[in-house]
Amino acid sequence: MTLEIEVYPPVNGNQYVLLSGRLDTQSHARLDEALAPMLAARPQALVLDLAHLDYISSAGVRSILKARKALAPHEGRLLVVHPQEQIRKVIEIVQAVPMDEIFESSADADAYLDALQRRILDGEEENPQG
């Protein structure tokens, strides 16, 4: 199975992308190419929905790390939602995404982003989850 990439229109400065299939040596360049214009637009958050991603290799992990690095200069976040257990474990082991930026649902990710924005507006810089 190949990688399918579905890009949704930005919502409130957040870019949502659904990945399906396999993110591996054969497909990671496609993801990098798809994300490049989104990252150039400097979203507040890039939300990767991995509900239908079945496999991730080290090349796929590098693509996620590359996106995180591109977001960092403007304090953008990369959030992961709906990861299957095997994907969550790989991300956890290699520490590609902080565990407090992986969510079981889009609603949880949205609540995190809302809290983050409220803290910034209130002049606080702490992590909204504690």
Q: 71-87 burial, b if ≥16 CB within 10 A, otherwise e?
A: beeeebbbbbbbbeeeb
pLDDT at 20: 97
pLDDT for res 88: 83
CA distance 39 to 41: 5
Rounded CA-CA distance 48/56 in Å is 13
Q: Can you tell me the distance from the alpha carbon of 32 to that of 60, in angstroms, rounded to the nearest whole number?
A: 9
Task: Check residue 85 and give its pLDDT.
Answer: 86
Q: Contact at 8 Å (CB) between 45 and 78?
A: yes
What does the pLDDT read at residue 100? 58
Across the 130 residues of the chain, what is the mean pLDDT of every consecutive 10-residue run?
92 93 95 96 94 92 92 91 87 67 65 67 54
Q: What is the pLDDT of residue 9?
A: 93
Q: What is the pLDDT of residue 22?
A: 96
Specify the pLDDT at position 39. 96
